[in-house]
């Protein structure tokens, strides 16, 4: 299975492609960062990102696109640009009939490093080791894109649904499942009103 990971961003949008083989063996295929300049009009920046994502999807024809789920940040402009880039990745995948999976940064860090609060350098180091690369993946946006793809490839079976299947998960997989439940939109909102 070919997985294309996207670390969305308006200035730097990371794109990483891996292949997940039998026994979850992972192979590196490609990594890149689509860049735009802050002084360029936003519509032109979004078009550059969209065209870049479309080119990657057409080149690698992934089985799934794994995108980092956008969370609110203190800088509203940053989160808006990030959300727009994530939306572009979803639209580009939908146009091609490619399924999309969303994973939180915590899920990706947990999958790659075993620590949901890992630093950027820890993620970069572990992505490099997991994929058997000779040099640290740079910039961090590129490593994060590969990390999101790795996250999808290594997600524990049944962790999202929970139930009886979770009884057979390792401690790390249970932590991951818990992080997924906490990250779900609408958590704690009553739906019977």
The pLDDT of residue 110 is 92
The pLDDT of residue 166 is 45
Residues in the chain, total: 193
CATH number at residue 90: 3.30.420.10
Answer yes or no: is 173 within a domain.
Answer: no
The pLDDT of residue 72 is 60
The pLDDT of residue 81 is 85
* Of residues 2, 28, 22, 4, the one with CA closest to residue 128: 28
Answer yes or no: is 26 within a domain.
Answer: yes
Active-site hit among 141, 161, 166, 178: 141
The pLDDT of residue 78 is 74
List the structure tokens of 2. Answer: 């070919």
The pLDDT of residue 59 is 98
Answer yes or no: is 169 within a domain.
Answer: no
Residues of the chain with pLDDT under 50: 158-169, 186-193
The reply to whether 19 sits in an annotated binding site is no
68 belongs to the catalytic site: yes
Answer yes or no: is 30 within a domain.
Answer: yes
List the structure tokens of 190. Answer: 């009553």
Q: How many domains does the chain have?
A: 1
The reply to whether 7 sits in an annotated binding site is yes
Q: Which residues constitute the domain of residue 39? A: 2-155
Count other C-beta atoms under 10 Å from residue 91's C-beta.
14
């Amino acid at each position: 299975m070919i997985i294309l990971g996207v670390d969305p961003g308006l200035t730097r949008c990371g794109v990483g492609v891996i292949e997940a083989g039998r026994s979850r063996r992972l192979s590196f295929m490609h990594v890149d960062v689509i860049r735009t300049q802050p002084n360029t009009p936003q519509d032109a920046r979004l078009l550059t990102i969209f065209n870049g994502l479309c080119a990657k999807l057409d080149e690698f024809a992934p089985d799934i696109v794994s995108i980092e789920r956008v969370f609110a940040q203190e800088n509203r402009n940053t989160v808006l640009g990030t959300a727009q880039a994530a939306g572009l990745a979803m639209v580009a995948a939908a146009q091609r009939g490619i399924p999309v999976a969303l994973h939180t940064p915590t899920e990706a860090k947990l999958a790659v490093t075993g620590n949901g609060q890992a630093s950027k350098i820890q993620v970069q180091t572990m992505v490099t080791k997991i994929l058997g690369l000779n040099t640290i993946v740079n910039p961090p946006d590129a490593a994060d894109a590969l990390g999101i793809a790795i996250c999808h490839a290594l997600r524990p079976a049944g962790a999202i649904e929970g139930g009886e299947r979770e009884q057979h998960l390792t401690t790390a997989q249970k932590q991951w499942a818990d992080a997924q439940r906490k990250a779900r939109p609408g958590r704690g909102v009553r739906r019977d009103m």
